[in-house]
Amino acid sequence: MSPVSIPLKGRRMIPAPTAWARANRSRLLGAALLLGLAALGWLVPLLSDADPARQDLGRILMPPSAGEPLGTDHLGRSMLARLAAAIRLSLGFAAVGVVSAAVPGVLLGVLAGWRGGWLDRAAGVLSDAFLALPGLLLVLLLAALAPGSAWALYVGISLVLWVEYFRVVRATVRVAAASPQIEASRLLGFGPLYIFRRHLWPEIAPVVLTLASFGAASAILAVAALGFVSVGLRPPAAELGLMMTELLPYHEEAPWILFQPIAVVFLLVLSLNLLSGSRPR
């Protein structure tokens, strides 16, 4: 295994109880922010019939008004409807990306860390290869394989992200598996499932959750960046990175419109970072 070990959250020293309180407060804040954004994403289509794709070239870059509370974009589309659609897309993206990276990563990590042997070595080699493969290359190639489709981006991002789960989980499990408690459980004749539930999961769960919320934030940023080099999703899809890229040239003419997708990405990533504890990565 590579000596570049990732410091484990579970073993970090927590200096004072006030830090705990603060960490919890920031998590609460993060959760509240995330819920608020999700509510915006899913409630807007219920409350208004604005279509995120409907254009009106006669009313472009309008400032916020009673009819359009967030104004209109460069094609005269409702910013409120588009932001809501973009939030749904980004959150869905983040969720699918994280789950499809976390499940194989955690499973393989537990198996490799617990069982060791050839499985451990093979998985280690695989993860090393993936780690050194420029993630960008994978995503670019997959995106070129199916231009404009979302699944290529999901797969590409998951392929990049799973390694991190694998490495961290394997390291955690390896330490835990050598612990006297597990030794005792095994001697007492408990099955692997019990040992996993009783001893391993509590060890890896906080780590995985931390990684998941960071991974979600990274996925959102990665898709936004891909949109910028015109590899990501295609217009008229309402995607935050794409919206920013399209609206960028209007930064002087309609700053309030450009500000909106930036603020949403900012709040999304911030809330996920807060949710995961204090250390952003």
Partner 1 sequence: MTARPILKTLGHRLFQALLVGLAVGTLTFLLARLLPGDMAFRVAAGRYGYDNVTGSAADAVRLELGLDQPALMALGAWLWDLAQFDLGRSLISGEPVIAAIRHQLGHSADLAGSAILLSLLIGPPLGILAGLRPGGVLDRALLPFAAGLRALPQFVLGVLLIVLFAVGLGLLPAAGYGTMEHRLLPAITLALGLAAVSSRVARDATLAVTASPYYAFARTKGLPEGSAFLRHGLRNIGVPVTAYLGVQLVYLIEGVVVVESLFAWPGIGHALVHAIFARDVPMIQGTALVMALGFVLLNALVDLACFGIDPRRRKA
Partner 2 sequence: MMRKVFARGSGWLGATVLGAVLLVQPAAAQSDNPARVLNVVAPWEVASLDPAQHGHAFLRLEVAQTLLEVDGAGRPLPSLAASWTVSDDRLSWRFVPREGVVFHDGTPLTAEAVAASLRHARAKAGVLKEAPIRSIKAEGGAVLLKLTEPFAPIGAVLAHSSAIILAPASYREDGTVTAVIGTGPYRVERLEPPQKLVTTRSDRYWGPAPAVEAVSYLAAGRGETRALMAESGDADLVFTLDPASLRRMRSSRAVQVQSIPLPRTVAIKVNAGHPFLKDEPARRALSLAIDRAGIAAALLRAPEAAAGQLFPPSLPDWHHPGLAPLVQDRAKAEALLADLGWSRGEDGILRRDGVPFRLSLRTFPDRPELPLLAAALQDQLRAVGIALDVAIGNSSEIPAGHRDGTLELGLMARGFALIPDPLGTLVQDYGVQDYGVRDGRQGGDWGAMNWNEPRMAEALAELLRNPDQARGAELRRTVAALLQDELPVIPVAWYQQTAAVSRQLRNVSLDPFERSYRISAMGWAE
- Residues in contact with partner 2, counted by CB under 8 A, come to a total of 21
Residues 174-203 binding partner 2 (CB under 8 A) are none
- Contact pattern for partner 2 over residues 207 through 246, marking x by CB under 8 A: -----------------------x---xxx---------x
- Give the one entry of partner 1, partner 2, none that residue 231 binds, where binding means its C-beta sits below a cut-off of 5 to 8 angstroms depending on kind: partner 1
Interface positions, 18-37, toward partner 1 (CB under 8 A): 18-19, 26
Nearby residues of 31 by Cβ (< 8 Å), 6 or more positions away: 271, 275
Binding to partner 1 in span 157-196, by CB under 8 A: 160
Give which of 217, 199, 17 is closest to 97, Cα–Cα: 217
Q: Name which position in 81, 171, 274, 275 contacts partner 1 (CB under 8 A).
A: 274
In whole angstroms, give the CA distance from residue 245 to residue 228.
Answer: 6
* Residue 161 Cβ vs partner 2, minimum distance, rounded to whole Å: 25
Query: Bridge-partner residues for 87, per DSSP?
Result: none
Member of 33, 75, 136, 267 binding partner 2 (CB under 8 A)? 75
225 binds, among partner 1, partner 2, none (CB under 5 to 8 A by kind): partner 1
Task: Give the C-alpha separation, 264 to 79, whole Å.
Answer: 12
**Strand partners for 72:** 78
SS3 for 141? Answer: helix
Binding partner 1 (rule: CB under 8 A), the pick from 108, 200, 224, 243 is 224
The verdict on 67 binding partner 2 (CB under 8 A) reads no
Q: Name the binder of 60 from partner 2, partner 1, none, CB < 5-8 A by kind.
A: partner 2
* By CB under 8 A, residue 12 contacts partner 1: yes
Host H or E run for residue 220: helix 201-228
Q: DSSP characters for 32-44? A: HHHHHHHHHHHHH
**Listed residue (214, 169, 197) closest to 8, CA to CA:** 169
d(CA 157, CA 128): 17
**Backbone phi, then psi, for 234, in 5-degree steps?**
-105, 150
Residue 90 binds partner 1 (CB under 8 A):
no
Measure the CA–CA gap between 164 and 185, rounded to whole angstroms: 29
Which residues bind to partner 1, rule: CB under 8 A? 2-7, 12-13, 15-16, 18-19, 26, 125, 128-129, 132-137, 140-142, 144-147, 160, 217, 221-222, 224-225, 228-229, 231, 241, 244-245, 248, 251, 262, 265-270, 273-274, 278-281
